[in-house]
Amino acid sequence: MNFTLHISYPLTNYNQFGWAFVLMPPLVPYMAPVAAIAACASGSIGVFRTVNNLNAITVLINIPLTMLLAISSNDDPVFVFLLLIMIFVKTAFSSISAKIAHSLSNPKYMSNQEKIKKIFKIQRERVEKRNEVLGIEVSKQISGMGMFPSYLPKDKQTVPVISKAMEARMRERLLQ
């Protein structure tokens, strides 16, 4: 709002750099907040993505062009700083709306992650129990034969990945 007043009050500001903010692409900085309110009111994933796109256009085209023209016309540095703040605010809003759109598109994501972590925790406990009962050396020999998975992740965040080569070696060991 403050920047809009700045680019419109002395008409020379609009002629020097305000036109870039308003018209390159047309009215995008003003459509983004309206679309954000509509996205929050409707809860539509498509509208949230539109808000992100409008913010991206504003941050990548409108604001840098306006800053370049404002600096070249010796505008007050406070308003250039205001444009920088606008970049940070639009980036934060885009990040938040992306997370909201993700949550709306996949509401069970977090509960599924918790279930997977629980499964891996149980598997890790079983491997540790097997190592305790059979001993590490026997467990390594059994794992080498492909009877037990030896590829469980050591950290609790990653998902185990078996390469094609590892799968082929496991099959060969089982067939021997």
- Residue at a domain's end among 54, 82, 107: 107
What is the predicted pLDDT for the residue at 68?
Answer: 92
Cis status of the peptide bond prior to 10, with omega within 30 of 0? no
What is the predicted pLDDT for the residue at 176?
Answer: 63
The answer to whether residues 11 and 98 belong to one domain is: yes
Structural domain total, the chain: 2
The answer to whether residues 23 and 54 belong to one domain is: yes
Q: How confident is the model over 140-162, as a mean pLDDT?
A: 58
Is 80 exceeded by the pLDDT of residue 134? Answer: no
What is the predicted pLDDT for the residue at 161?
Answer: 59
The answer to whether residues 81 and 134 belong to one domain is: no
The answer to whether residues 118 and 55 belong to one domain is: no
* Helix orientation angle between 109-134 and 136-145, rounded to the nearest 10 degrees: 120
Q: For 107-125, how does the pLDDT look when each residue is reduced to its tens digit (9 = 90+)?
A: 776 777 778 788 888 888 8
Q: Which of residues 150 and 122 earns the better pLDDT score?
A: 122
The answer to whether residues 10 and 62 belong to one domain is: yes
Domain around 55:
2-107
Is 70 exceeded by the pLDDT of residue 160? Answer: no
- Residue at a domain's end among 107, 140, 157: 107
Is 80 exceeded by the pLDDT of residue 175? Answer: no
The answer to whether residues 116 and 102 belong to one domain is: no
Is 80 exceeded by the pLDDT of residue 141? Answer: no
- Residue at a domain's end among 74, 107, 140: 107
What is the predicted pLDDT for the residue at 79?
Answer: 86
Q: For 51-106, how does the pLDDT look when each residue is reduced to its tens digit (9 = 90+)?
A: 999 999 989 998 899 899 989 998 888 888 989 999 999 999 888 888 888 888 87
The answer to whether residues 60 and 141 belong to one domain is: no
Distances (CA, A) of 66 to 22, 107, 137: 9, 39, 69
